[in-house]
A and B are shown apart, each in its own frame.
Chain A
Amino acid sequence: MKNIKKNIIQASYFGQEGHIASALSILDILFVLYDKVPNLSLSKIDSNDRDILILSKGHASLAHAAVLEANKFITKSELMSYCSHESILGGHLNMKKVPGVEASTGSLGHGIAISVGMALASKIKKIQNRVFVIVGDGECNEGTFWESMLLASNHNLDNLCCIVDYNRSNDRALKLDSLHQKIKAFGWHVEEIDGHSHKEIISSLNSLSVDKPKAIIANTIKGYGIREMENNPAWHHRTPTKEELKQMIKELS
């Protein structure tokens, strides 16, 4: 994990781009997904029954790219080329360019509805797979998030698992308050976990809900693991200087 975090900081430093704090907020979730969900592996990439992961909060792409590198979907040099002109990796990942990326997200509130479509497609085609989607709490402001909540429960998409990265960065704009009850009222099975506890993430991913889509509200810390960055809004869309890079790498060593 520490190496992946270092890679995130370094890739952002080289590319002078990226939402590092958002990436660190979801890194544990992504790490566990690729580590523990066997059908998300590189060997299943062309299988119709592969599990699907959509990063609806596309700006946290650094975490996704770094985890894809750790799982051999892309190379280290590709990761370190992040956001350079010829790179396969932009600030929001393009599914046409990056193996393992199922949808080109970036505009908030799109990936969640796409994931509903993919989960519905699996039901239509009788494919026994799971569709995971990671949304941010800010993204939960979007009407399409709530439309998707309605659609998924209405069509009993129990193959869909929505993980909400609840780092509360959006509280300054539009508080979600009782998010658990709200999603539950939309007909979902809801669990709430510590989004940095691998044990809790694993346990939550393993427990399946029957006849209902499942939401995991992952309580997270934006910028998790780097003291200067944790819950510091200044780091929402900032890249480190050379000196900051040195300090962060030291902190992670």
Chain B
Amino acid sequence: MRAQFVKTVSKLIKSDENVVLLLGDIGVFGFRDMFVQYPERTYNIGILEQSTISLAAGLSLSNLIPIVHTIAPFIVERALEQIKVDLGYQELGANLVSVGASYDYAALGCTHHCPADVPTLNEIPGIEIVVPGHPDEFDKLFNQNYDNGNTTYFRLSEAKNIHAFNVEFNKNIVIQEKGEIVIIAVGTMLEVVLEASKNLDVTIIYCTTVKPFDFSTISKYLSKKILIIEPYYSGPILNNILRKTRNINGYFSSIGVPNDFINKYGSKADIDSMIGLDSKTIRRRILETISE
């Protein structure tokens, strides 16, 4: 997805003279041509995330469109108050694009993990959250959204789904409709869910916009058993559903990264298996839900 990010944003720097890229000293090589061709709108701003977000707010106040890019914990957790006040409270347009997702940097340890990014930003009024599952989807969603005047968080990950879908901002996609179990899969969890639910009669809904959440697509399933499978700390989707309705008589299970520090290293796949976000464990959870 990072390669696509470079392609998508480079194209926008060329085509939209209001776009300004601020890199937190990562991804610099990818944008080497932009630094030469558009030095006034391409910055390796440095490793100072809090001021970078405020600076981005200043650019936005002057009607420019900032794109801030760095590793998830540093953009979200270190600069959280700046995101809340300078972007959220002031209702400014900006794009925050992270890499690393929950534990893509598995081998680097907890300082570089960020399973709290989506749950944390979900609580800031007005912030939009996009979790693409495929590089093509990032391209589509970013182009649809980057200049909409709101602050949008785009969560890039190393993992990707095999196929891209024809995604739209704030729109869930019903991938298949079968049986009594409904699974909402967020971003790259779709591939895991497709693998886990092979030969099972389940409805699968694919979500790439966590906030605002497309409630209309799922409202008719509320009396069924709903399994939500998210690639970060579980909760945001269920929260966003509960904020839309009180009329829930069904069954909900929210599965995501457990709320523990992950004190092991290795690869993302190692961590997936350890915490149960692999297809084998998810299949077991689906079967348990069917039989409950």
Residues of A within 8 A of B (CB): 95-96, 102-104, 106-107, 109-110, 112-125, 143-144, 147-148, 150-151, 154
The winner among B55, B58, B89 for most chain A CB atoms within 10 A is B58
Render B2-39 as a binary contact track against A, CB cut-off 8 A, 1 for contact: 00000000000000000010000000000000000000
Which one of A120, A123, A143 has the greatest number of beta carbons of chain B within 10 Å? A120
Known: A107-B81, A115-B58, A151-B46. 4 other contacts (CB 8 A): A113-B58, A116-B55, A117-B54, A117-B59
Tell me whether B54 and A114 are in contact (CB under 8 A).
yes
Also in contact, A113 and B62, with CB within 8 A (given A96-B91, A143-B50, A151-B48): no
**B217 at the binding interface (Cβ < 8 Å):** no
With A96-B91, A110-B82, A114-B86 in contact, do A148 and B51 touch (Cβ < 8 Å)? yes
Q: A96-B90, A150-B48 are in contact. Are A120 and B58 (CB under 8 A)?
A: yes
- Chain A residues within 8 Å of B82, by CB: 110, 113
Q: List 29 A-B contacts (CB under 8 A).
A: A96-B91, A102-B61, A103-B57, A103-B86, A104-B89, A107-B81, A110-B81, A110-B85, A113-B51, A113-B58, A116-B54, A116-B58, A117-B55, A117-B59, A117-B61, A117-B62, A119-B58, A120-B55, A121-B61, A121-B64, A123-B40, A124-B59, A143-B50, A144-B48, A144-B51, A147-B48, A148-B54, A151-B51, A151-B55
CB-based nearest B residue for A54: B58
Q: Which chain A residue lies CB-closest to B85?
A: A107
Would A110 and B64 count as touching, CB distance under 8 A?
A: no
Tell me which of B62, B81, B86 contacts A125 (CB under 8 A): B62
Q: Whole-angstrom distance between the alpha carbons of A132 and B41 in the complex?
A: 23
Q: In the complex, what distance in Å separates the CA atom of A121 from the CA atom of B58?
A: 8
Q: Is B210 an interface residue (CB 8 A)?
A: no
Task: Looking at the assembled complex, report how far the CB atom of A218 sits from the nearest CB atom of chain B, in whole angstroms.
Answer: 23
Question: Chain B 220-241, CB within 8 Å of chain A: the 1/0 string?
Answer: 0000000000000000000000
Across the interface, name the chain A residue whose C-beta is closest to B40: A124
Cβ of A118 and Cβ of B91 under 8 Å apart? Answer: no
B65 to chain A, nearest CB (A): 11
B55 contact from A106, A107, A113, A122, Cβ within 8 A: A113
**In contact, A124 and B57 (Cβ under 8 angstroms):** no
User: How far is it, in angstroms, between the C-alpha of A115 and the C-alpha of B57 when the chains are bound?
Assistant: 9
- Judge whether B76 is part of the interface by a CB distance below 8 angstroms: no
Q: From B46, B90, B91, give the contact of A103 (CB < 8 A).
A: B90
Cβ contacts under 8 Å, A121 to chain B: 58-59, 61-64
**Closest residue of B by beta carbon distance from A149:** B51
Question: Max chain B CB contacts within 10 Å: which of A117, A118, A148, A154?
Answer: A117
Q: Which residue of A is nearest B50, CB measured? A: A144
Q: Do A113 and B90 form a contact, CB below 8 Å, given A118-B61, A120-B59, A150-B48?
A: no
Contact A147 B51 (CB under 8 A): yes
Interface centre among A110, A112, A114, A123 (most CB of B within 10 A): A114
Q: Which residues of A contact B62 (CB under 8 A)?
A: 117-118, 121-122, 125
Contacts of B59 in A (CB 8 A): 117-118, 120-121, 124
Contact at A113–B91, with CB atoms within 8 Å? no
